[in-house]
Structure 1
Amino acid sequence: MPRRLIQRYMPHPETLKRTRSLRFISHIVGDASLWVLTRRSVGNAFMVGLFCALLPIPFQMLLAAFGAWVLRCNLPLSVGLVWLTNPLTMPPIFYCNYRLGAWLLDIPASQVPDRISTQWIAERMVEALPALLLGSLVSAVVLGLAGNALIRLIWRWNVSRSWRRRARRRQQARKQTPSPIDTDSANKSPAPEADADRPEE
């Protein structure tokens, strides 16, 4: 994963320090070691961020920041990935988690009505909570581990490709640059030939 691409979209430390839910851990947010971009720190950050994003709980950003501090991975990526579940994506994601949990518990899943109301949600919340929690936990673990592994593979592939490009450039540079032996031969003047027509004394 190219560092420049990640750094372009990473928030500034001061931006995270001003975030309301992270203000009281500003000393952790400002830790320079939690802003390092390596294959390990980025891979673990994706795991932490995706895991927290799929949990139907409040204070996801705070949990992601704490997880980044415990695993010593990239904090802004961990916190930023939490926004995978936002007001637009939460309903379909958590409903899929609920369906998964209902399938794992072998219970019938409730169908979503044409018009969702707060009353319907309140009535179904207690009934759906076990399936929602189980499905969300399974999805969070699977997606977090898969994201970690995928990022590490992409990072390794990108590094290998960079090394191959450098090796090709060096080979091309060697081909274009004349060797020292050829240069010395070209600089040497030809030895004077013996004058065969010169009469002997």
Structure 2
Amino acid sequence: MWRRWSFFRQFKLNLIRLLRLQDSPHRIARGLALGLFLGMTPTFGVQMLLALFAAILLRENKLSAVVGVWVTNPVTAPFIYGLEYETGRILLGLPHPALGMEFNYQFLQKFGWQVITPLCLGSLLFGLASAFIGYGIVIKFIPVMRKWRIKRWPRGRR
């Protein structure tokens, strides 16, 4: 039976591992907020390394920072980045970029800035919002969840 539910079992095990960290709820929440902020930035290939490096520099919880980055994964990233881009584009008052007829360096430079600028603004806004919300939720729930008795996952027959 557990093989059919392996995703949920792994999620439960990671949640238990996060809750049993031998660190204060404040440091765990700050590390997760750092990871959430970096997870919202358009650095999709190196987010975990950036979170680990930033957690080491800021002396935050490294595991919770890396877990916070998982908010963007191959399933959620197109939706998150699309929403961030549209939000930044609307706030800056920019029209949708038009594709040019020629594919040269000047076109790529102009098109790149038309995409990067709104994406960075949107990711900054969404990153700050998710960091503050994530910190608030985690700082309240870790002491409560540490008191829970979590049952063992049912084992299959051998």
TM-score (norm 2): 0.65
Match of 1:99 in 2: 86
Among candidates 17, 31, 53, match of residue 45 of structure 1: 31
Letter in 1 for 2:23: L
1:139 corresponds to 2:138: no
Gaps of 5+ in 2: 1-11, 99-107, 148-158
What SS is found at the alignment partner of 2:124? Answer: helix
Gaps of 5+ in 1: 11-34, 112-121, 163-201
Assess, with a 3 A threshold, how the Cα gap between structure 1 residues 9 and 109 changes in structure 2: closer, same or farther. farther
- 1:7 and 1:37 map into 2 onto residues whose CA distance is 15
Equivalent residue pairs, number: 123
Letter in 2 for 1:45: G
- 2:40 and 2:65 map into 1 onto residues whose CA distance is 13
Higher RCO (CA 8 Å, separation ≥ 6 residues): 2
Root mean square deviation, CA, Å? 2.8
Among candidates 24, 40, 51, match of residue 54 of structure 1: 40
Assess, with a 3 A threshold, how the Cα gap between structure 1 residues 155 and 76 changes in structure 2: closer, same or farther. closer
Is 1:42–1:77's contact at 8 Å kept on the other side of the alignment? yes
Runs of 4+ in 1 over 4 A off after TM superposition: 4-7
Residue 51 of structure 1 deviates from its aligned partner by: 0.7
Match of 1:172 in 2: none
1:149 corresponds to 2:136: yes
Residue 67 of structure 1 deviates from its aligned partner by: 1.9
Q: 1:133-171, CA deviations, whole angstroms, 9 ceiling, x for partnerless residues?
A: 110111111111221122112235x18x95xxxxxxxxx
Residue 109 of structure 1 deviates from its aligned partner by: 4.2
> In proportion to residue count, which structure has more helix?
1
Match of 1:116 in 2: none
Question: Alignment identity in percent?
Answer: 29
- 2:86 and 2:15 map into 1 onto residues whose CA distance is 37
- 2:51 and 2:22 map into 1 onto residues whose CA distance is 16
Residue 100 of structure 1 deviates from its aligned partner by: 1.1
Match of 1:89 in 2: 76
Letter in 1 for 2:48: M
